[in-house]
Structure 1
Amino acid sequence: MTAVPGTSAFTSRTGGSRQLSGTGVLLRLALRRDRVMLPVWVLIVAGIVLAMPGSLEQAYGTGAERAEAMRSMNANSSMRALYSPVFGDSIGALSAWRIGVYAAILAAVMSLIVVVRHTREEEETGRQEMISAAMVGRRAPLTAALLAAFVANAAVALLVAGGMAGQGAAGALALGLGVAGTGMLFATMAAIVAQLTESARLAKGLTSGVLGAAYVLKAAGDAGTEDGSSVLTWLSPLGWVENIRAYAGERWWVLLLIGAAVVAQGAVAYNLAGRRDVGMSFLPTRPGPAKGRIATAGGLAWRLQRGSVLGWTLGFLVSGVVFGGMAEGAADIVGDNANTRDIIERMGGQSGITDAFLATMVGMLGMIASLYVVASVLRLHGEETSQRAEPVLANAVGRLRWAGGHLVIAFGGALLLMLVGGLGLALGYGKDLGPIMGACLVQVAAIWALGGLAVLLVGAFPGAAVGAWAVAGVCLAIGWIGPALDLPQVAMDLSPFGHLPKLPGGGMVWAPVVVLLAVSGALVAAGLAGLRRRDLIS
């Protein structure tokens, strides 16, 4: 590996605290760069937790209703797999059951993005090499990135603990620390992966893959037991979160397990960071063939994004099968609880409870697919900021042709995801393939609208491109917790998904679908026009 001038020589003559020189300055820089993104993430993670008690009090107003809900949820293996076992019948315990694991997943995603952004992404773009030419210690960038993640997770812990204290101080503290601890666990995991790979995108993808595998392990373990004691559950960091048992006889020692994992992974990351040069990795990219096989811009886009498309596709197929398998038991899950039925019907429509449940799951798949389309469109921005687009465009490749290859993968991939997700739902449910596939295709209009917004930002306002994540996150939050909070229709209409017909089971309404498709087309056209006129980011 080639040493970077001004870096290895400096660090080889120093040790101890000099390895961390400049950490404070880099931390302030990271927090300044993320001054919008981090607060949005923190508010979303904490907000979905703090919104739960009110909605659950509406759904289960009496102790008897909560006890019956606990019994029915624990008796349903699909519900245990989707969420976790219920360990108590208080509002606090039900809130931890309903949202604790998912809040931990969001904290993990936030943390891995922050760490990779300020480590491997800085090296990939060449900015770290310039910074390292100054008096900056070898481990200072990694330390600053982990401290930035710590600040964000500490804010989440404080908001959750403070907001949930009314349900019980001990349970609130356990829940807040569990969510934040999971965030830091995946922050240190991302720090390790960032040392192993040369690509920020690959580092994010591998860490996200570990997060997905952790959820699958937890779900498989919880499906088989009612007390979270499965070996598979304990093999998953997300299983540790549920086994803290906030508001149900807290197991504080599980937090020590999370803390030990954070310290161990952090030590590994620091050791690896001290053994490589800036820009290098322990798993270097394999050289390509002597004779290139990529002849078009579209072929290059497919080569860059095929791994992501495959991973998302498999995930949607598995999720669809799991959700479809729960549909038959939807009526049993709801029982005679009118409030719970109202929540599901607000999400899925006024048709029969099974159709409403399926419509709810279709909507969830659609909102998750919007994250894919945003990530795929932003790959254009990543190629530009990393200066990999410039040599491509220096050849006989126009900007529209270059962008078109990535947009075909983004928008076509979103369509593929919904088709595969619908197939999985139908397979899990065992019938109604046509109606379910039709319902999934309707979601594509809203997904493409968010993708079109991302294209507009990348093309015309590249400095605000990251804002596409914030918009997608807000839409996800509205669709996820809006029906439970019974938000007014004007708030629900802020999301394009709020305008779509509730299918299957409801009546088809073409007007909003056509309008959303037209809006997405106009946004893409405006974004491409902006891309043609402006200078490339250097």
Structure 2
Amino acid sequence: MNALAGTRQLLRLALRRDRIVVPLWVILLGVLPAITASAYATLYPDAASRAALTAATGSNPSIRLLYGPAFDLSTAGGFTAWRFGAFLSLFVALACVFTVTRHTRQEEDSGRQELLSSTVTGRSAALTAGLLTGGLAALATGLVATLSLAGGKLPLAGSVAFGASVTLVGWVACAVAAITAQLAEYSRTANGLACATLGVMFLLRAVGDSSRDIGWLSWLSPLGWSSQVRPYAHERWWVLLLPLATTAVLGLVAYRLLARRDVGMGLLPARLGPAAGAPGLDSPLALAWRLHRGTLFGWLAGFALAGALFGSMAAGIGDVVGDSAQTREMVQRMGGGSGLVDAFLAVMAGMFGMIAAMYSVQAALRMRSEEVALRLEPLLATGTRRLRWAASHLVFPFLGSGLLLAVAGTALGLLHGLRVHDVSVQLPRVLGSTVAQLPAVWVVAGISLLVFGFLPGASVAAGWGVASAFLLVSLYGPAIRLPQAVLDLSPFTHVPKFPSAAFTPGPFLWLSGMALVTLFAGLAGFRRRDIG
């Protein structure tokens, strides 16, 4: 049989399954750079403000660590490439990793791939379909970014270079995920290995870009290559050959590894568990802890690192903003503070809240994953009751998100306090502003549970779609002056902008009440519907 037999059918199946989620992140990630580019002339209207921005970014290693090198900030295109090049490439890479793993290793976890392999399906068809799905999604993101930037009257060459660099980093991530799908026996492990690889890539780029003595490190990372293409700054087209060659080599390795294993097995041997379960595993909560702990620890590490990074930057935010009165006004409008540093801290607190909401959606949807994988029914066949099982999983989207915010607030406040030599004052006020986002996070988690309870088939698309819409409105709405009625749709709009805002209990009470209503309604729906 041809090793690629059935690839077209599997590709159609994968695209149909992702017909909501993939277009959502393609459009969201593709249009963000154009939004920033359109606001550049307003934020930095004259040569003096642009020169001050260039000087500040060049002298601040923390900024280079976060965003990468700034080759030309005197134009809207150069500013957009600097502001979004590294992070957009990282987000596209993460989305590609999850997409490829979903259509390869996760299909084997669920047993569906074994059924498909019993039909007229070639040995390499599933892997090829997964790679094509992730690769097409990355290509679509690059095309949307290119067209939106070129449509905003930016130079076509720079727009093509920007879109191509983002696309090719996504292709490298697809190939990395293809390899980890052959190594690991379970999809969570495969995702973890691939994400760890992306983390190493980001670390190499960050360290190389922030230090001129070891700048060569950024050339070891595909995320660094996306910046070295230099969109809108005398493009280096030859750099695009690096991710192309890397994708080809890693893809070839993935296919070679595929030929060395059986369906459902991984090349890395799974560690055998003990003959008898530990006494601490005799409850639904203990099982939920085993399922959620790896993800929670990964998110905690990321929040701690991000909090420390932004905390070290807060005191110098004035240097980054420079003399642009428009940028200062935008930051203060988003942060709700009269002081630029307090406004920046409020913006960071809101950002951590929105990202914690993403974690809450992921943790809440783990219940749907357990249901689809047919692991829930055997549990309910024992003495475990539905609501007790659901409550054991809901500990993580509701309390786990609070722990994430506490860790981020502690790191943010501690590093900022050390910079200004006032830890005893700054730590509690910054921690309080971050934890204040928790009721809004609970609203997002409650909406995910509500959909899971009544419309389980739409829970994944609806959960991520609602969270992404709230993030987009809250993050970019104030900057592009969306109507207040649109801004009010996001629960994060209603959280007081601490640390400078005065405390008012009203928003916290009604946001918590809304979260409780959606929580109990979702549990009621789950209690009454059929499993599966």
TM-score (norm: length of structure 1): 0.94
Residue 486 of structure 2: which of 491, 494, 501 is its match?
491
Alpha-carbon distance between aligned partners in 2 of 1:160 and 1:268, rounded to the nearest angstrom: 30
The one-letter code sitting in structure 2 at the alignment partner of 1:60 is Y
Matched, 1:125 2:110: yes
1:47 is aligned to 31
Identical amino acids, percent of aligned pairs:
44
Determine the C-alpha separation between the residues in 1 that align with 2:449 and 2:207.
38
Pick which of 202-211 and 245-254 moved more: 202-211
Aligned to 1:9: none
- The residue number in structure 2 matching 1:393 is 380
1:237 positional shift: 2.0
SS of aligned partner of 1:137:
coil
Q: Is the 8 A contact 1:217 1:232 kept in 2?
A: yes
Matches within 5 A, 1:79-228: 79-88=63-72, 89-165=74-150, 166-225=153-212
The residue number in structure 2 matching 1:38 is 22
Alignment correspondent of 1:261 = 246
What corresponds to 2:225 in structure 1?
A: 240
Task: Tell me, yes or no, if structure 1 residue 423 matches structure 2 residue 418.
Answer: no
- The residue type paired with residue 479 of structure 2 is A
AA in 1 matched with 2:332: E
Report the alpha carbon displacement of residue 208 of structure 1 after superposing the two structures with TM.
Answer: 2.2
Shift of the 310–99 alpha-carbon distance from structure 1 to 2, 3 Å rule, reads same
One-letter code aligned to 2:392: G
Q: Which residue of 2 aligns with 1:405?
A: 392
Paired with 2:82 and 2:205, the residues of 1 have a C-alpha distance of 13
Q: Secondary structure at the match of 1:278?
A: coil
- 2:442 aligns to what? 448
Secondary structure of the residue aligned to 2:277 is coil
Instruction: Tell me by how many angstroms 1:111 deviates.
Output: 1.0
Per the alignment, residue 346 of structure 2 pairs with 359
Q: CA deviation at 1:406?
A: 1.1
Does residue 528 (structure 1) correspond to residue 523 (structure 2)? The answer is: yes
**Cα deviation, residue 433, structure 1:** 1.2
Task: Find the aligned partners of 2:343 and 2:327 in 1 and give their Cα distance.
Answer: 12
Q: Return the offset for 1:441.
A: 1.3
Inter-partner Cα distance in structure 1 for 2:475 and 2:221: 24
AA of the residue aligned to 1:522: V
Query: Contact 2:49/2:322 (CA < 8 Å) preserved in 1?
Result: no
SS in 2 for 1:290: coil
> Could you tell me how far apart the structure 1 residues matched to 2:497 and 2:82 are?
27
1:327 shift after superposition: 0.9
1:206 deviation in Å? 2.6
- Once the two structures are TM-superposed, the CA of residue 55 in structure 1 deviates from its matched residue by 1.4
Counterpart mapping for 1:252-401 below 5 A:
252-293=237-278, 294-401=281-388
| Structure 1: distance between partners of 2:223 and 2:18 | 26
Shift of 1:470: 1.6
Is the CA contact 1:179–1:241 (under 8 Å) kept in the aligned structure 2?
yes
Give CA-to-partner distance per residue, 1:58-105, whole Å, 9 cap, x none.
101223322321121221122111212210121100010111222112
Q: Separation in 2 of the partners of 1:413 and 1:490?
A: 31
Q: Report the counterpart of residue 4 of structure 1 in structure 2.
A: none
Q: Is the Cα–Cα contact under 8 Å of residues 367 and 447 in structure 1 kept in the other structure?
A: yes
Instruction: Please say which of residues 280-289 and 384-393 is displaced more in the overlay.
Output: 280-289
Report whether the alignment pairs 1:75 with 2:59: yes
Match among 510, 521, 532 for residue 515 of structure 1 = 510
- Kindly state the Cα deviation for residue 395 of structure 1 after the two structures are TM-superposed: 1.2
CA apart distance, 1:147:
0.9
The reply on whether 1:506 has 2:493 as its aligned counterpart is no
Report the alpha carbon displacement of residue 21 of structure 1 after superposing the two structures with TM. 0.2
Asked if the contact 2:52–2:322 (Cα under 8 Å) also holds between the matched residues in 1, the reply is no
Query: What TM-score comes out, normalization by structure 2 length?
Result: 0.95
Note if contact 1:343-1:484 (Cα within 8 Å) is conserved in structure 2: yes
CA distance in 1, matches of 2:230, 2:242: 14
Cα distance in structure 1, aligned partners of 2:4 and 2:223: 32
8 Å CA contact 1:54–1:485 kept in 2: the answer is no
CA contact (8 A) 1:48 1:477 kept: no
Q: Is the 8 A contact 1:193 1:203 kept in 2?
A: yes
Distance (whole Å) between structure 1 residues aligned to residue 181 and residue 80 of structure 2: 34
Comparing 446-455 and 280-289, the one that deviates more: 280-289
Unaligned residue ranges in structure 2 (runs of 5+)? 418-422
**Structure 1 counterpart of 2:524, which letter?**
A
Contact residue 20 and residue 136 of structure 1 kept, 8 A? yes
Q: Partner of 2:479: helix, strand, or coil?
A: helix
**Cα contact 1:373–1:451 (8 A) shared by 2:** yes
The answer on 1:61 being equivalent to 2:48 is no
Letter in 2 for 1:435: R
Shift of 1:484: 2.7
Q: CA offsets per residue over residues 8-54 of structure 1, 9 Å max, x none?
A: xxxxxx4xxx0000111111111111111111111001111111111
C-alpha distance after superposition, 1:385-436 (max 9, x if no partner): 1111222222111111111111112211111111110110112112211111
Offset at residue 368 of structure 1 (A): 1.0
Residues 488 and 210 (structure 1), Cα distance of their counterparts in 2 relative to 1, 3 Å cut: farther
Contact 1:49 1:99 in 2 (8 A): yes
> Alpha-carbon deviations, 1:472-499, whole Å to 9, x = none?
1222222332233222222222221111
Q: Does the CA-based 8 Å contact 1:411-1:451 persist in structure 2?
A: yes
Alpha-carbon distance in structure 2 between the residues aligned to 1:106 and 1:509: 36
Which residue does the alignment assign to 1:10?
none
Contact 2:185-2:264 at 8 Å conserved across structures: yes
Offset at residue 113 of structure 1 (A): 1.8
Counterparts of 2:228 and 2:478 in 1: how far apart (Å)? 28
Residues 344 and 357 in structure 1, CA contact (< 8 A), matched pair in contact too:
yes
Rounded to whole Å, the distance in 1 between the matches of 2:474 and 2:179 is 34
Moved more, 483-492 or 303-312: 483-492
Q: Tell me how far apart the structure 2 counterparts of residues 249 and 259 of structure 1 sit (CA, whole Å).
A: 20
Decide whether aligned partners of structure 1 residues 111 and 404 sit closer, same or farther in structure 2, where only a CA change above 3 A counts.
Answer: same
- CA offset digits 1:467-525 (Å, max 9, x no partner): 21122122222233223322222222222111111111111222122111111111111
1:433 to 419, 427, 438: 427
> Does structure 2 retain, via aligned residues, the 8 Å contact 1:86–1:97?
yes
- Give the Cα separation in 1 of the matches to 2:191 and 2:149: 31
CA contact (8 A) 2:49 2:323 kept: no
Give the Cα separation in 1 of the matches to 2:105 and 2:409. 36
* Alignment size in residue pairs: 519
